[in-house]
C-alpha cells in the first residue's frame, strides 16, 4: 500500500516545502572559519531563546551530549545519569570511549525521575579511591515522560550545592515545554527557558519533533561552548556550509514549536483508540510517545503484530512493549488508520492465539 503511517520515531519527518525554501535561500559560508551567517544566526537564536550566552550547532544529539560531557568533565571524572538516559545507554559509551569519563548510572523512579537521595548518595567524597563526581545529567522528556519543573529545580539545586555542573539532554525539551506550558497563555518558549535555566548546559535536537532533517544545538556559557567547539572538531563534527541545515533548524524554531501540542493530541487520540482492547495495556501519554504493553497470551505476538501492521502500511517499533511516536508528518486520519489496523489484529477470531508461556 502506498500510504505509510510511520510511527517508529519523530525523526522520520521530511522537510516541509516551507523548510525546503528556507534552506534553498539560506546565506552560506564556511562555518569552520565562523563564516556561515545561517549557522551564526541559529546559534544566537537558540542561545537567546533558552537564556544562554552561547550555542554550538552540531550534526547530532549524540555529539551534542558528548561535547557537553567532555566539556564539563576531565579524564577520571564521573557524571551521574539515569540508567535509561540517552547519554548513558544509547550513545556507545562515548564519554568513556573518547573522554575517559566514567558514568555513575542510577535507577529511575516509575515517573522517570532520579531520587534526590540516590543522587546525593552517589556523589563521591574527595578521596583518591573515587572518581571525581563532576556532573549531573538529566533528560526531559525521557521516553515521552515529563520531569516536573519543581523536581528539576530540586535536583539541580542539590547538584549545585554539592559543586556539580548540570546538563540537560533536552532532545525533546520543546515537547516538555509544550506539555507543561499553562493552557491559559500557552507560552511554550517561556516554559522551555524556565526548564533550561536550571542547567549549565542544554542540548536540543532539531531533528526530532521540530522536523528538521538533521542537527542539534548545545547551549551554555561562552567558556563552556569554546571547550565544546574543540570537542566537536575532535569528533569530526565541524561542518562547512552547514547553514543549509541551520536554516532548516531555524525555520523549525519559528514554525514548529507551537504546533507540538498537535502531536500530543494525536498521541492521546491513539491511546484512547486502543483503550479496552484485550491483550493490550496502554499508558496515558504525556507527550508524543504512546507505549503499548502486550500482556497475557498477546505478549508473544509482538512480531506478528508488527508484521500485520507493516502489511497495512503502519510502522512501529518494540518487543513486548511497542512504541508509537507522533509527529509533524502524521494526521488524525493516519492515527485512525493505525488504530483500526491494531484493533483488527486483536479482534480477528480466526487467527490462532499461541498458548501462554510463563517465563518463570
- Which residues contact ligand PLP by CB under 6 A? 60-62, 65, 86, 139, 169, 171, 205, 207, 216
Question: If you search the block for the grid coordinates 483500526, which residue do you land on?
Answer: 340
Measured from the CB atom, the residue of 200 and 298 that comes closer to ligand PLP is 200
CB-based contacts of 242, cutoff 8 Å, min separation 6: 31, 36, 38, 39, 57, 215
Rounded Cα distance between 210 and 249, Å, is: 8
Quickly count: other Cβ atoms within 10 Å of residue 155's Cβ.
22
Measured from the CB atom, the residue of 237 and 334 that comes closer to ligand PLP is 237
Phi-psi region of 93 (alpha: psi -120 to 50; beta: other; left: phi over 0): left
Measured from the CB atom, the residue of 47 and 68 that comes closer to ligand PLP is 68
Taking the complex as a whole, the smallest distance from the CB of residue 323 to ligand PLP amounts, in Å, to 12
Strands (E), 153-297: 165-170, 201-205, 216-220, 280-282, 289-294
Rounded Cα distance between 91 and 65, Å, is: 9
Q: What is the dihedral of CA 326, 152, 258, 206, to 10 degrees?
A: -70
Query: Of all residues in this chain, which one has the CB nearest to ligand PLP in the complex?
Result: 61
Quickly count: other Cβ atoms within 10 Å of residue 283's Cβ.
15
Taking the complex as a whole, the smallest distance from the CB of residue 44 to ligand PLP amounts, in Å, to 22
Taking the complex as a whole, the smallest distance from the CB of residue 61 to ligand PLP amounts, in Å, to 2
Burial 113-129 (b: 16+ CB within 10 A, else e): bbeeeebeebbeeeeee
Rounded Cα distance between 121 and 182, Å, is: 35
Taking the complex as a whole, the smallest distance from the CB of residue 267 to ligand PLP amounts, in Å, to 16
Q: What does the angle CA 111 – CA 113 – CA 114 come to, to the nearest 5 degrees?
A: 140
Measured from the CB atom, the residue of 73 and 171 that comes closer to ligand PLP is 171
Measured from the CB atom, the residue of 171 and 179 that comes closer to ligand PLP is 171
Concatenate the DSSP letters of all residues of 208-247 into one string. STT--SS-EEEEE-HHHHHHHHHHHHHTT---SSTHHHHH
Taking the complex as a whole, the smallest distance from the CB of residue 39 to ligand PLP amounts, in Å, to 17
Measured from the CB atom, the residue of 191 and 216 that comes closer to ligand PLP is 216
Taking the complex as a whole, the smallest distance from the CB of residue 206 to ligand PLP amounts, in Å, to 9
Measured from the CB atom, the residue of 62 and 250 that comes closer to ligand PLP is 62
Taking the complex as a whole, the smallest distance from the CB of residue 161 to ligand PLP amounts, in Å, to 26
Rounded Cα distance between 168 and 153, Å, is: 12
CB 166 within 8 A of CB 136: yes
Measured from the CB atom, the residue of 68 and 335 that comes closer to ligand PLP is 68
Cell readout for 141 is 522528556
Measured from the CB atom, the residue of 65 and 156 that comes closer to ligand PLP is 65
Taking the complex as a whole, the smallest distance from the CB of residue 295 to ligand PLP amounts, in Å, to 26
Taking the complex as a whole, the smallest distance from the CB of residue 318 to ligand PLP amounts, in Å, to 15
Amino acid at each position: 500500500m502506498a500510504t505509510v503511517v510511520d510511527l517508529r520515531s519523530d525523526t522520520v519527518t521530511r522537510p516541509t516545502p516551507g523548510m525546503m525554501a528556507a534552506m534553498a535561500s539560506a546565506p552560506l559560508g564556511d562555518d569552520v572559519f565562523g563564516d556561515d551567517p545561517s549557522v551564526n544566526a541559529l546559534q544566537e537564536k537558540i542561545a537567546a531563546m533558552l537564556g544562554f550566552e552561547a550555542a554550538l550547532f552540531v550534526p547530532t544529539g549524540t555529539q551534542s551530549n558528548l561535547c557537553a560531557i567532555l566539556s564539563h568533565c576531565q579524564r577520571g571524572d564521573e557524571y551521574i545519569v539515569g540508567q535509561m538516559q540517552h547519554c548513558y545507554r544509547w550513545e556507545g559509551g562515548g564519554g568513556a570511549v573518547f573522554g575517559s569519563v566514567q558514568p555513575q548510572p542510577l535507577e529511575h523512579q516509575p515517573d522517570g525521575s532520579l531520587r534526590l537521595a540516590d543522587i546525593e548518595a552517589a556523589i563521591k567524597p574527595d578521596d583518591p579511591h573515587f572518581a571525581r563526581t563532576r556532573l549531573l545529567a538529566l533528560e526531559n522528556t525521557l521516553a515521552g515522560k515529563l520531569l516536573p519543573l519543581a523536581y528539576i529545580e530540586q535536583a539541580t539545586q542539590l547538584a549545585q550545592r554539592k559543586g556539580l555542573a548540570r546538563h540537560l539532554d533536552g532532545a525533546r525539551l520543546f515537547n516538555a515545554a509544550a506539555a507543561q506550558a499553562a493552557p491559559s497563555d500557552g507560552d511554550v518558549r517561556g516554559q522551555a527557558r524556565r526548564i533550561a535555566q536550571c542547567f549549565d548546559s542544554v542540548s536540543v535536537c532539531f531533528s526530532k519533533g521540530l522536523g528538521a532533517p538533521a542537527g542539534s544545538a548545545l547551549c551554555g556559557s561562552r567558556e563552556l561552548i569554546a571547550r565544546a567547539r574543540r570537542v566537536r572538531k575532535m569528533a569530526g563534527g565541524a561542518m562547512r556550509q552547514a547553514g543549509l541545515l541551520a536554516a532548516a533548524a531555524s525555520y523549525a524554531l519559528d514554525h514548529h514549536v507551537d504546533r507540538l501540542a498537535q502531536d500530543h493530541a494525536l498521541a492521546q487520540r491513539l491511546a484512547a483508540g486502543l483503550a479496552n482492547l484485550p491483550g493490550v495495556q496502554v499508558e496515558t501519554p504525556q507527550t508524543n510517545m504512546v507505549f503499548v504493553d502486550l500482556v497475557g497470551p498477546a505478549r508473544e505476538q509482538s512480531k506478528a503484530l508488527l508484521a500485520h501492521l507493516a502489511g497495512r502500511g503502519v510502522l512501529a517499533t518494540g518487543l513486548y512493549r511497542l512504541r508509537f511516536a507522533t509527529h509533524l508528518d502524521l494526521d488524525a486520519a493516519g492515527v485512525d488508520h493505525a488504530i483500526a489496523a491494531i484493533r483488527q489484529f486483536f479482534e480477528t477470531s480466526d487467527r490462532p492465539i499461541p498458548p501462554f508461556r510463563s517465563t518463570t
